[in-house]
């Protein structure tokens, strides 16, 4: 089901981008999040990690030159660090609720990159719309 969700997410995300001009947070994000649509806390924590990543890279960019591949790599690396830190924090304070930990290691960075490119609100709305469509297609097909 993971592969189907990712493939459908890529196709629907591409069509959504072609129709609206807005990207749903990266090519695999909506497919990944559609897998956990029944756990809203995971979706919220993943988007929150993306926002935190975006804000941290924006702060870093005040002190260094970040554009193009450097900015993208910064988003991915900071996203990895944010996800890892959230996991460590939840384990350390003995919150073993896996639903609070963001999905995937690169997903927050991909979300943050699109937030930088097209804005926070359009990215979040695009993710929600495409994720819902992917989830609906998965339910109808599987």
- 23-70 confidence digits (pLDDT tens): 999 999 999 999 999 988 889 989 999 999 999 999 999 999 999 999
What's the total number of domains in the chain? 1
Q: Is the pTM of this model over 0.85?
A: yes
Specify the long-range contacts of residues 95-103, CB closer than 8 Å, at least 24 apart.
97/41, 99/39, 99/41, 99/42, 99/45, 100/41, 100/42, 100/45, 101/42, 101/45, 102/42, 102/45, 102/46, 102/48, 102/49, 103/32, 103/33, 103/35, 103/36, 103/42, 103/43, 103/46
Query: Domain containing 22: what range?
Result: 2-141
pLDDT of residue 104 exceeding 90: no
């Amino acid at each position: 089901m993971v592969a189907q969700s990712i493939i459908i997410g890529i196709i629907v995300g591409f069509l959504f981008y072609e129709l609206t001009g807005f990207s749903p947070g990266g090519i695999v994000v909506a497919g990944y999040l559609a897998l956990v649509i029944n756990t809203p806390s995971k979706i919220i924590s993943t988007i929150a990690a993306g926002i935190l990543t975006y804000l941290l890279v924006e702060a870093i960019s005040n002190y260094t030159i970040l554009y193009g591949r450097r900015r993208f790599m910064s988003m991915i690396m900071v996203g990895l660090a944010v996800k890892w830190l959230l996991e460590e924090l939840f384990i350390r304070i003995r919150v073993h609720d896996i639903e609070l930990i963001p999905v995937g290691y690169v997903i927050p960075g991909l979300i943050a990159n699109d937030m930088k490119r097209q804005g926070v609100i359009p990215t979040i709305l695009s993710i929600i719309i495409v994720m819902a469509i992917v989830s609906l297609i998965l339910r109808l097909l599987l």
